[in-house]
Amino acid sequence: MAIRAAQKGRLIAVIGDEDTCTGFVLGGIGEIDKNRRPNFLVVDKNTSVPEIEEVFKSFIKRDDVAIILINQTYAEMIRHAIDKHTEPIPAVLEIPSKDAPYDASKDSILRRAKGMFSAEDFR
Query: What residues have CB less than 8 Å from 94, skipping those under 6 apart?
Result: 70, 71, 72, 75, 102, 106, 107, 108
Residues 13-52: x where in contact with another protein by CB under 8 A, - otherwise, as a string: -----xxxxxxxxxxxxxxx-----xx--x----------
Q: Does 5 bind another protein (CB under 8 A)?
A: yes
Q: Dihedral angle at the C-alpha atoms of 104, 12, 46, 34, nearest 10 degrees?
A: -170
Chosen residue from 62, 67, 75, 119 binding another protein by CB under 8 A? 67
Binding segment toward another protein, per CB under 8 A, in 49-57, 74-82, 84-92? 84-92
Instruction: Write the CA distances from 44 to 65, 66, 79, integer angstroms.
Output: 23, 25, 19
Binding site for another protein (CB under 8 A): 3-12, 18-32, 38-39, 42, 66-67, 69, 88-89, 91, 93, 95-96, 98, 101-102, 104, 109-110, 112-113, 116, 121
